């Protein structure tokens, strides 16, 4: 089973690249973030023509998350199970092959002084509670998406540049640790404990060509599922060329 997470930074702007990349990488499941479309504007037919069923949650020009799957998704859940007015279109979940799979787009946070940063921490806490509930029901769980948190300094091109910034603050990393504590592993890091490799590079200042990136797109899985992961890659080729997203797709292969 090949699982991919990719923040496409507008699905409409990325449709041609997505189509060719899906042909090339041939994943079974694709978690997309920042589709930037409402459900009514989601290209269900075009995605179906690529060989994938679609589940999407989008309510405005912002955010928007989707799961593409070769197999029919079941038990679709839009947003968090617990009602929350402030949640925005940042999580969608479906059961595929017996696994509860979520595509998540964690709030950016903007700066440590911004109200959006508090929102980010609250959002991560809600995610933790939801994962905990699913695991306690005995479900197999996979959470893939843009976490907007670099788990360790190893995941940051220059930790000194990020002192006092979001994505690396102790509170954000603690929130992510709390999610690990309920029973999930960072799958890429389990396979490659020491690899310094990124998933996002700022469009500005030629960050990609300077190697100035962060590893903020993660695939988390319960311990049994994580133990089945055998190979992973950030596809930097997809960050090059005409009209790339600022994120590279992350590929994880699981033994069946």
Partner DNA sequence: ATGGTAGTGCAACTA
Look up 105 and say whether it is catalytic: yes
Considering the complex, state which of residue 70 and residue 116 has its C-beta at the smaller distance from DNA: 116
- Judged by CB under 7 A, the residue of 77, 108, 132, 140 near DNA is 108
Alpha-helical segments (H) within the chain? 11-25, 44-49, 115-136, 170-181, 187-191, 223-227
Q: 52, 105, 117, 198: which is the annotated catalytic residue?
A: 105
Query: Of 146, 154, 158, whose CA–CA distance to 105 is shortest?
Result: 146
Instruction: Work out which of 1, 5, 29, 36 binds DNA, going by CB under 7 A.
Output: 36
In contact, 218 and 186? CB cutoff 8 Å: yes
Q: Which residues pair with 184 in a beta bridge?
A: 222
- Does 240 bind DNA (CB under 7 A)? Our answer is no
Q: Which of 52, 57, 117, 146 is catalytic?
A: 146
Residues in the chain: 256
Segment near DNA (CB under 7 A), from 95-103, 108-116, 125-133, 186-194? 108-116
Q: Taking the CA of residue 109 as centre, how many other CA atoms within 13 Å lie in the half-sphere pointing to its CB?
A: 25
- Between CA 157 and CA 141 the distance in angstroms is 30
Interface with DNA (CB under 7 A), residue from 4, 6, 9, 131: 9
- Which residues inside 65-104 make contact with DNA, applying CB under 7 A? none
Residues that bind DNA (CB under 7 A): 9-10, 12-13, 36, 61-63, 107-108, 110, 116, 203-205, 243
Annotated catalytic sites, by residue? 105, 146
């Amino acid at each position: 089973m090949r699982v991919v997470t990719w923040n496409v930074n507008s699905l409409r702007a990325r449709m041609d690249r997505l189509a060719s990349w899906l042909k090339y990488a041939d994943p079974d499941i694709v978690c997309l973030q920042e589709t930037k479309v409402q459900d009514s504007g989601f290209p269900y037919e075009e995605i179906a023509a690529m060989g994938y069923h679609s589940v999407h949650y989008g309510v405005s020009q912002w955010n928007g998350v989707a799961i593409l799957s070769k197999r029919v998704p079941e038990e679709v859940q839009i947003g968090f199970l617990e009602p929350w007015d402030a949640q925005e279109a940042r999580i969608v979940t479906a059961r595929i092959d017996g696994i509860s799979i979520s595509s998540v787009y964690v709030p950016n946070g903007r700066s440590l002084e911004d109200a959006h940063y508090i929102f980010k921490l609250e959002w991560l806490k809600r995610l933790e509670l939801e994962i905990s509930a699913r695991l306690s029901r005995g479900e197999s769980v996979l959470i893939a998406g843009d976490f907007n948190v670099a788990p360790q300094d190893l995941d940051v091109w220059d930790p000194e540049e990020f002192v006092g910034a979001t994505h690396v603050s102790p509170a954000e990393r603690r929130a992510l640790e709390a999610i690990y504590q309920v029973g999930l592993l960072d799958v890429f890091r389990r396979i490659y404990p020491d690899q310094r490799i990124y998933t996002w590079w700022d469009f500005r200042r030629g960050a990609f060509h300077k190697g100035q990136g962060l590893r903020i797109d993660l695939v988390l899985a319960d311990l049994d599922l994580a133990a089945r992961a055998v190979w992973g890659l950030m596809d930097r080729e997809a960050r090059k060329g005409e009209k790339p997203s600022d994120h590279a797709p992350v590929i994880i292969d699981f033994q069946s």
